[in-house]
Amino acid sequence: MGGGEKMRGGEKMYNTSTPMPTHQLSDSNRGIMGNHNDNNARNLRVYQTWKGSNIFCFGGRLVFGPDVRSLFLTIFLIMIPVILFCAFVSQRLINDFQHQLGYYVVVICVILTAHVIILLFLTSARDPGIIPRNLHPPEDEGSSISADWPGSQVAGPSLPPTKDVMVNGMVVKVKYCQTCLLYRPPRCSHCSICNNCVERFDHHCPWVGQCIGKRNYRFFFMFVSSTTMLCLYVLAFCWVNIRKIMDTYHCNMWTAFLKSPVSGILILYTFICAWFVGGLTAFHLYLIFTNQVAIFSSPSFLCCSESFTPHYAACKLFNFFADNI
């Protein structure tokens, strides 16, 4: 947050640097410092004076997005079909499979579900790669600025909207963030929902209620890929259950669905979900292999385009559920 402070992982951060004169601070950040003559204010941890929209829990150890309540909807959509599968479908599988193989089907389903929920929590509760705000604008290096740049109309130092920096021997253009008062590193973007600059920002995921960035992207990818596996697992054994009913009663498929309607409901539900999360998994595999991020390769996620992608479809589905609950 200034004075050499950085936000990294689970480090404890204290605002113990020498207070800066108030007249050198911007209006948006003057409130961070509080009363500079108050010793208690100088010992506040950074999360207690954070200017973004994040929600901190357990002394700042857990960092959630402002829409963390959507996490309960996601957990509900994962747990309910698993509970239905274990309560209704698995009973016939336990009876029909020999050598207690039916019990292993249920145990694997429960373990896979627990794995998905843990990954969901790790994705939602981790710092995605937030870059702390500066208390005052960086030093002007003598760059010129056009008159139509908004920052040139306000009091304070005039800073160019972009500047060139050297990264691995290549010249890269970085943008200035007026909210965080810093030049963003390459592939860093400002999330309007969390109101933070996030390093290697991929997108803000409404399903986990958190930005996806440098420090939680691996957990997000493991979450969507594991959810795909869970959907396919339940889908496959629901079909096995239907086939066993058909063999036992020598009936057709529709009669089997009538004898086990839960299996039919779960087959339809998991097929639809597998299409969404499977599409996301394939899409992010493509991004990983091509070294891209979703915000640049899929502008439709930000509602800038009407082209149909897994991100666009998933967000539309989330808005449908959220608006009807």
* Active-site option among 109, 180, 205, 211: 205
Residue (of 159, 182, 160, 186) closest to 173 by Cα position: 186
Q: Is 205 a residue of the active site?
A: yes
Cβ proximity of 102 and 291 under 8 Å:
no
Q: Please state, in angstroms and rounded to a whole number, the distance separating the CA atoms of residues 171 and 189.
A: 18
Q: Please state, in angstroms and rounded to a whole number, the distance separating the CA atoms of residues 251 and 276.
A: 33
Per DSSP, 53 falls in state S
Cβ proximity of 113 and 79 under 8 Å:
yes
DSSP character string of 17-48: SPPPPGGGS-HHHHHHH--TT-HHHHT-BGGG
The residues carrying an active-site annotation are 205
